[in-house]
A and B are shown apart, each in its own frame.
Chain A
Amino acid sequence: MLIRTWWCALTSPSDDGGALRTEEFELNMGPQHPSTHGVLRMVLKMDGERVVDCDPVVGYLHRSIEKMAENRTFTQVIPVTDRLDYCTSMTSNYVYVLAVEKLADLTPPPRAEYIRVIMTELNRIASHLLWYGTFCLEIGATTPFLYSFRDREKVLDLFESACGARLLYNYIRIGGVGQDINQKFLDRMIEFLDYWEPIIPEYEALLDENPIFYNRTVGVGTVPLEMCRSYGVSGPNVRAAGVAEDVRRDDPFAVYKDLEFEIPTEKESDVFARYRVRMRELRESAKILRQCYEKIPSGPYGLPLNYRFKVPEGETYVHIESPRGDIGCFLASSGGDKPWRCKFRTPSFVHIQLFKKLLEGVLIPDIMAICASFDIVLPETDR
Chain B
Amino acid sequence: MDLVTAYTGQDVALVLIMLLMLALILGFIAGSSLILIWAERKVAARIQNRVGPMMTGPRKFAEFSMWTGGLLQTAADAIKLLVKELIIPSKTDAIPFIAAPVLIVTVCVTAYIVIPFGPAFSVSDLNIGVVHVVAISSLTVLSIVMAGWSSNSKYSLLGGLRSAAQMLSYEIPLIFALLGPILLAGGLSMQKMVLAQREYGCWFLLPSLLGFLIYYVASIAEVNRPPFDIPEAESELVAGYVSEYSGMMFAMFFLAEFANMFLVCSVAATVFLGGWLVPFMPVPDNPTPVYILLGILTFFLKTSFLVFIMMWIRWTFPRVRPDHLMNLGWKYLFPLSLLNLLICAGIAVLKDVYKLNGWGISLASLGALAMVMLLLQVVRIPRPDTFLEKA
Contact = CB atoms under 8 A, between A and B. Distances in A.
Given A35-B235, A364-B236, A142 B315 contact: yes
Interface string A201-232: 00000110011111110111110000000000
Size class of the contact patch on chain B: 35 or more
B317 A49 contact: no
A206 B318 CA distance: 9
A140 B47 contact: no
B385 A146 contact: no
B385 A212 contact: no
B318 A139 contact: yes
B220 to A, nearest CB: 12
Nearest to A219: B388
A366 B321 contact: yes
A286 B162 CA distance: 43
A233 B384 CA distance: 31
A150 B321 CA distance: 28
Interface stretch (B226-234, B271-279, B297-305, B373-381): B226-234
B226 A49 contact: no
A25 interface: yes
Contact of B319 (A141, A147, A361): A141
B235 A140 contact: yes
Contacts of B236: 35, 364-365, 367-368
Contacts of B316: 141, 143, 206
Interface in B97-155: 154-155
Given A210-B317, A362-B391, A150 B49 contact: yes
Contacts of A212: 227, 317-320, 324
A212 B318 CA distance: 7
Contacts of B234: 34, 140
A57 to B, nearest CB: 17
Interface in B184-204: none
A144 to B, nearest CB: 9
A139 B235 contact: yes
Nearest to A359: B391
A369 to B, nearest CB: 9
Interface residues of A, number: 40
A219 B385 CA distance: 10
B158 A211 contact: no
Contacts of A142: 44, 48, 226, 315
Interface centre among B316, B319, B320 (most CB of A within 10 A): B319
B238 A365 contact: no
B384 A140 contact: no
Contacts of B154: 25, 27
A266 interface: no
B321 A215 contact: yes
A362 B383 CA distance: 22
A363 interface: yes
Contact of B47 (A143, A222, A361): A143
A268 interface: no
B237 interface: yes
A215 B322 contact: no
B328 to A, nearest CB: 9
A147 B235 contact: no
A215 B319 contact: no
Given A141-B317, A210-B317, A210-B318, A34 B390 contact: no
7 contacts: A137-B235, A138-B235, A140-B319, A141-B316, A212-B320, A216-B318, A216-B320
Interface of B: 44, 47-50, 154-155, 158, 161-162, 226-227, 229-230, 233-238, 315-324, 383-385, 388, 390-391
The 4 A-B pairs at the shortest CB distance, nearest first, are namely: A140-B319, A146-B48, A141-B318, A35-B235
